[in-house]
Amino acid sequence: MEKENKVKTDQELVALTLADHRAFTSIVEKYQNILRRYLAHIGCLSRSDQDDILQEAFLKIYLNLNDYDPDLKFSSWVYRITHNEAVSFFRKKNISPAPVANDDDLGIFLNLIDDTDIIEAQNKKFEAELVRQALAKLEKQYRDTLILKFIEDKSYEEISDILKIPIGTVGTLINRGKKQLKNILYKKI
């Protein structure tokens, strides 16, 4: 009989890990690169710093797995722990993170057409750099919500879970953040 190679859901991975701690590697493998990308987006540029934050985050995830509320989306719970670890890391190091996004990510904000000629490609890079600079100038609360919504593609509910704020506040922060971003960009032009 052929064994099924089915991709496991987060809930299945949690259950497997609770039954056998060695299954936790599946959770790490699933989320490590996603969370590393998120850390880079919120301003943790050094791979070594990312590794430190991820190590602490995965340790907390593992130690608190019994306390995970299955009514919440597991990915939101994992992001929240990682986000909190990043905030603690930045606080300990006494640094203000500057968000980083690649040109493809910033294209989400810009809604640019992919079929470009050389001049348009240069304009796209210039505009992406302007957006990158504008994101760095946003207040942290606005920057975090915009990155989670438009770069990490999280829903309002997920952002609410990750940042531990009401859903209505998420909408308000996204709207205000977009307005601030627009104002900063218009001042640069």
Q: Where are the domains of the chain?
A: 10-93, 103-188
Res. 72: pLDDT tops 90: no
Predicted confidence band of residue 2 (pLDDT cuts 50, 70, 90): very low
Higher local confidence (pLDDT), 8 or 33: 33
Q: State the architecture of 10-93 in CATH terms.
A: Orthogonal Bundle (1.10)
Greatest alpha-carbon span in the chain: 66
CA-CA-CA-CA dihedral for 119, 120, 121, 125, to nearest 10 = 100
pLDDT score at 115: 45
**Euclidean distance between CA atoms 107 and 14, whole angstroms:** 35
Res. 98: pLDDT tops 70: no
Whole-number mean pLDDT of the chain? Answer: 83
Could you read off the pLDDT of 11-37 as tens digits, one per residue? 999 999 999 999 999 999 999 999 999
Higher local confidence (pLDDT), 66 or 45: 66
- Using CA atoms, how far residue 38 sits from 91, 118, 120, 144, in Å, is 18, 30, 28, 10
Could you read off the pLDDT of 141-168 as tens digits, one per residue? 999 999 999 889 899 999 999 999 999 9
What fold does the segment set 103-188 form as a domain? Arc Repressor Mutant, subunit A (1.10.10)
Res. 180: pLDDT tops 70: yes
